Chains A and B, each alone.
Chain A
Amino acid sequence: AQSVTQLGSHVSVSEGALVLLRCNYSSSVPPYLFWYVQYPNQGLQLLLKYTSAATLVKGINGFEAEFKKSETSFHLTKPSAHMSDAAEYFCAVSGTLVSGTYKYIFGTGTRLKVLA
């Protein structure tokens, strides 16, 4: 069965510093992986997704993530944090529900705080 672990429920960075949000997955088959962002009292918005093409995936707002099969990781990074990046971030894996169908399995989220 597929699963997702996000290390660190809260992460704080200074404005301009590197953002690193960690996600490890467990999957018996090649996974499809997603990062979503959620601002307070809003829905989720897709940042980027990995669908077995390039291992380095670039997303919106300057974020990117690298799929590392050997480490079963899909960490999210951004070179320079901006105050507007403060939000909650969710990693998800698309896992097989029954043959031929899929469902998302979400991590528990990481709340990013950006310090001025």
Chain B
Amino acid sequence: DGGITQSPKYLFRKEGQNVTLSCEQNLNHDAMYWYRQDPGQGLRLIYYSQIVNDFQKGDIAEGYSVSREKKESFPLTVTSAQKNPTAFYLCASSMQFTRGTDTQYFGPGTRLTVL
């Protein structure tokens, strides 16, 4: 079955540590996205990638970094510079970034907690 996988499901981080969240898709989609979800705030865009080896900052990119070395993979690193990283992180993909009608497909999410 085609879809998006995220790992791990739960992640605990100590203060000052960098952690990397994995996102893999086998939908052959060009565009991929990372969102952060906090209670009562909806989803906020962290980074997006239109194509391999290209990515752009979203609305809340500070303290985060990404890479897109393969079409299937779009890992997100939460750095120690992110002041309040405890949240639910969602990865998504769509066929293209240049079509507003494209559906975004979401992974199951990773819940990050800072200890």
Contacts and interface: CB of A to CB of B under 8 A. Distances in A.
Interface string B1-17: 00010100000000000
A49 B41 CA distance: 22
B42 A46 contact: no
Interface string B90-115: 10100001111111111111010000
A49 B42 contact: no
B76 to A, nearest CB: 15
Given A42-B108, A43-B90, A102 B97 contact: yes
State the majority secondary structure of interface residues on A: strand
B100 A94 contact: yes
A95 to B, nearest CB: 8
A51 B101 contact: yes
Interface stretch (B43-51, B66-74, B79-87): B43-51
Contacts of A9: 40
Contact of B100 (A32, A41, A43, A44): A32
B111 A102 contact: no
Contact of B50 (A51, A101, A104): A101
Given A34-B103, A101-B97, A108 B111 contact: no
A49 B104 CA distance: 11
A42 B42 contact: no
Interface residues of A, number: 25
Nearest to A100: B98
A36 B58 CA distance: 21
Interface of B: 4, 6, 40-45, 48, 50, 58, 88, 90, 92, 97-109, 111
Interface of A: 9, 32, 34, 36, 41-46, 49, 51, 90, 94-96, 100-104, 106-109
- Shortest 10 CB-CB distances between A and B: which pairs? A43-B106, A94-B100, A102-B100, A106-B42, A51-B101, A44-B106, A108-B42, A106-B43, A32-B100, A43-B108
